Amino acid sequence: MATTISRTAAKPRTAPQSQYLRHTKLPTLMFRTAADADRHVALVVASLVRENNSAGVATVLGLPTGSTPIGVYRELIRQHKEEDLDFSQVITFNLDEYFPMTPDSIHSYNRWMRANFFDHVNVPEENIHIPRGDIAPEDVDAFCDEYERLIEKAGGVQLQLLGIGRTGHIGFNEPGSSRNSLTRMVTLDPQTRRDASSSFFGEENVPTHAVTMGVGTILAAKKIIIMALGEHKAPVVRKAVEGEVTDEVTASFLQKHPHATFVVDEAAASHLTAVKTPWLVGRVDWTPVAEKKAVFWLCRELQKPILKLSGHDFRENHLHDLLAQNGPVEAIRQRVFNGLLNGICTQPAGPDRKTVIVFSPHPDDDVISMGGTLITLADQGHDVHIAYQTSGNIAVFDHDADRHIDFMSELEEYLGTATDKSRAIYAKMKQDLASKKPGACDSAEIQFIKGLIRKTEATLAALIAGVKADKLHFLNLPFYQTGKVEKAPITQADVDIIANLLRSLNPAQIYVAGDLSDPHGTHRMCAKAILQALAVVEPEGFQPEVWLYRGAWQEYEPHEIERAIPLSPEVVDRKKQAIFRHESQKDAPLFPGADKREFWLRAEERTKNTSAVYNSFGLPEFFALEAFVRYRGQL
């Protein structure tokens, strides 16, 4: 049965669903989506600004940078332009800056703040304060003392916005920072530098120091909102709000602040007790998903398959309420077991030939994430198309581009087709690479070369999977074409490209990357563009069945999985061979994320682990499984 895309679900909700979570030492407000969290925090900021404007007093804000607050800034910009939100009486103090760092560098937080916020609102220039990374080392201490004095002169920070790093740092207050520390220069933690490596095109290019507000400076703010979005932040969120106060997780100091709130989306909250095991902290609405989640948890806790669980097991492990509401135990066991068993699907698009589109954010996500299913669909005779949404050109090393330039140049010389013009072009591209500063944007010609490398690799990989070149669609969505890790917002131009593809192919089934924790956010943005396009074409009668898959960084939890596709050893080997065709991403990809394993190894071990989990629950043993979730109106 096809899944329809509800037009109502596709519209922004006017009343986001949220809740304060139990069992936290710091008030934690969870929203269903990152967009809902962004709107809430922006509303808090805007309300404070409007209130102070009405009273004729200044609003003093502490501001962060990075991917977490960018949605808040975009909503504040919208309110400024469309709802006359006036920032003329706002004074801002930014948290930090790399050192050394010139303000005009593409990596500078000064430049980032101007590009993403200050250039679009009317905060007076004299009211903007950002730590400097371009002063002499011997002048840093004096600058930091002056920064503290300026905050005090402004009357103190009224509202401090924060993100949280994977080491638990706030600002650049790394593990070991003192509770009373003030603005100062710090040495960056290796994990922090690794996390920043994608923005700098390599860890070796990330500065080793930064100037940051101290923990004491942050805690002096009258009110604090700290945000975390995405599954990759879930482990450190739990340490910060449920763990002990410790200088090893500087965000945990916020537990002692009288007016601090942690704002998270469901993905970032997924490891918190009230979300992961809510039956341990209170009553539960025992929906089918909650029932599955509890049963799978019990299986893992007791290392028992589903059909061997007893009523005693439920009662002794805080699940007596589940028995009372959904029992008897025999019914719960069989219902959950059958649901898992019925989700195993050997014909993912059914027995009759259908048109299928696999949307791949980057040119290798198709084979890495769902290559076995892709092979299965093609082998079963379906009309399979792959839509590569971006070029992936920023993920190609300079030395790979250099090698291909040499290849083309020497080939032309050998064929006798070289001209003075072509030699000059090749020489210019070589010079562009040789003179490029670490982390700087590539020239247009180099971006094209790198995109071509990814395109030819994807074409070879798809052929191994059984999809010919005429079924490949390289969409090259505009939002990605910045030449930088940081991308532009999704616009109607991106949506229209996808909507037109849907109209031209009219697929019965599509596959979408449903990631919430892609390190540089491209997967999330690509999914957003697809879902907006689906909302556009639905009134025209286009209603494909939509399945979500996960990328290289995460897998769905067992209770989330609605369809599992078995993979034979032969299919797994073909999938691996397809991944190998992406030579520019093999051995050491430019953006590996936190997991340093090669993509083929991550993919193979993940599918085998999913199979092992199903086996532990008492289901038939498979060589490997790829997991999917049906789209129902939100990521």
User: Closest Cα partner for 98 from 235, 181, 7, 211?
Assistant: 211
Other beta carbons within 10 Å of 351 = 8
pLDDT reading at 453 higher than 50: yes
| pLDDT value of residue 588 | 63
Compare 542 and 555 and report the one with higher pLDDT. Answer: 542
Alpha helices in 56-134 (DSSP H): 70-82, 109-116
Average pLDDT, the chain: 93
Residue 277 pLDDT exceeds 50: yes
Mean local confidence (pLDDT), 247-265: 97
Name the residue with higher pLDDT: 633 or 565: 565
How far apart are alpha carbons 600 and 602 in whole angstroms? 6
Structural tokens at position 167: 């080491």
pLDDT digits (tens, 9 = 90+) for 162-194: 999 989 999 999 999 999 999 999 999 998 998
Residue 296: pLDDT over 70: yes
H, E, C per residue of 138-179:
HHHHHHHHHHHHHHHHCCCCCEEEECCCCCCCECCECCCCCC
Confidence of residue 590 (pLDDT cuts 50, 70, 90): low
pLDDT at 10 over 50: no
User: Residue 581 pLDDT > 70, yes or no?
Assistant: yes
Which residue is associated with the tokens 């002692």? 256
- pLDDT mean over 456-462: 98
The rounded Cα 178 to chain-centroid distance in angstroms is 31
Q: Give the mean pLDDT of 486-508.
A: 94
Catalytic residue chosen out of the listed positions 97, 148, 174, 242? 174
Q: Give mean pLDDT, residues 486-494.
A: 89
What tens digit of pLDDT does each residue of 367-422 get?
Answer: 999 999 999 999 999 999 999 999 999 889 999 999 999 999 999 999 999 999 99
Dihedral sign (CA 455, 458, 460, 466): negative
CA trace torsion 578, 581, 582, 588 (10° rounding): 100
Nearest to 322 by CA among 346, 297, 356: 297
pLDDT for position 191: 86
Rounded CA-CA distance 391/375 in Å is 22
Q: In what order do the strands lie in the sheet with 624-630?
A: 472-474, 383-388, 355-360, 509-513, 545-549, 624-630, 563-567
DSSP-assigned letter for residue 208: S
Residue 256 pLDDT level (bands cut at 50, 70, 90): very high
Of 12-21, 194-203, 354-363, the one with minimum mean pLDDT is: 12-21
Name which of 76-90, 365-379, 557-571, 581-595 the model is least confident about: 581-595
Q: Which residue has the higher pLDDT, 597 or 635?
A: 597
Confidence of residue 593 (pLDDT cuts 50, 70, 90): low
Q: Which residues touch 471 (CB under 8 Å, ≥6 apart)?
A: 383, 384, 385, 386, 462
Q: Per-residue pLDDT for 8 more than 60?
A: no
Q: Assess whether 555 carries a catalytic annotation.
A: no
Distance CA 486, CA 468 (A): 32
Q: Name the more confident of 4 and 434.
A: 434
Q: Please name the amino acid found at residue 105.
A: S
pLDDT at 11 over 50: no
Least confident range from 54-63, 155-164, 394-403, 564-573: namely 394-403
Q: What is the pLDDT of residue 203?
A: 82
Give the per-residue SS3 of 208-257.
CEEEECCHHHHHCCCEEEEEECCHHHHHHHHHHHHCCCECCEHHHHHHHC
State the Cα–Cα distance between residues 213 and 171, nearest whole angstrom. Answer: 7
- Judged against a pLDDT cut of 50, whether residue 7 lies above it is answered with no
pLDDT above 50: residue 139: yes
Q: Per this entry, what is the length of the chain?
A: 635
Please give the angle made by the CA atoms of 469, 471 and 475, to the nearest 5 degrees. Answer: 95
